[in-house]
Structure 1
């Protein structure tokens, strides 16, 4: 308040405070403001880490895919009861992964929803603050094969492999 009073006289400050309905007895302390600033900065760091790892994902065709549990449509599957059961199991796994880290492997034939449910799990975990990357094995193999011909691909591959080891959810 002392710095402000150097720019404005006390009467002007009181007019502004009264006009805005500010209760000066409820203003935060310096410690509270410092704590809020630290929380804000930490949230920014976490958001940047999440964006970085997501950006380092290796998508087929370079096109990011989005899928949530709300997008899981059991009526589009040949065996709706099995699809409902698998969707529920994946959701439960995602909830468990929010607090415990463990490996999950999804297996099945083409078109049964492995990628969709993996993405739903990934986005669920990103929503609770975990970093995540999606890596298409087909696209990763393409990068590995191209690394001998293109130095920029080799560099990208090195970053991707390093990040795959450090991300929370792969």
Structure 2
């Protein structure tokens, strides 16, 4: 394992602009402050039309196959999606239907979601966590959920959400440090910077 960690951010929002993208960007920026990561973003908004009617990888365009391989070859996944009508977008789930069955085994995954109200907050633990548990991923203990009240013009303005992001990264660091002992971790105090 090299000292640079491959972070792949999977945004399950089929639209732009997206609060999900803003939340995932904040989480990846917090990781980048404490870990030596190389970040790649796989955005459903960019590939939704290409995967929507495809039932097997053999029928995917080359650029989508590249995105799937990036997910499978990640050292760390950061995955998030918006909640629509009480569930994750179907195309987000379909994206993971195309991922190799053993490709994510043992990989650390941070999970996040956004939704219209607090009523959907359990999607993190009732849909995202089981999805990655199925892949035998190492789903990190704390997820993040945000509502429109946490944002102003696609900018995170809620101090509780900012604190939650810091908490998630702080709790993930001991696990990640154990998984990537050769990486040069910066102190958790740099999160607040």
Instruction: Bin the TM-score by the shorter chain.
Output: under 0.3
More helix by proportion, 1 or 2?
A: 1
Larger radius of gyration: 1
**TM-score, scaled to structure 2:** 0.24
More strand by proportion, 1 or 2?
A: 2
**TM-score, scaled to structure 1:** 0.26
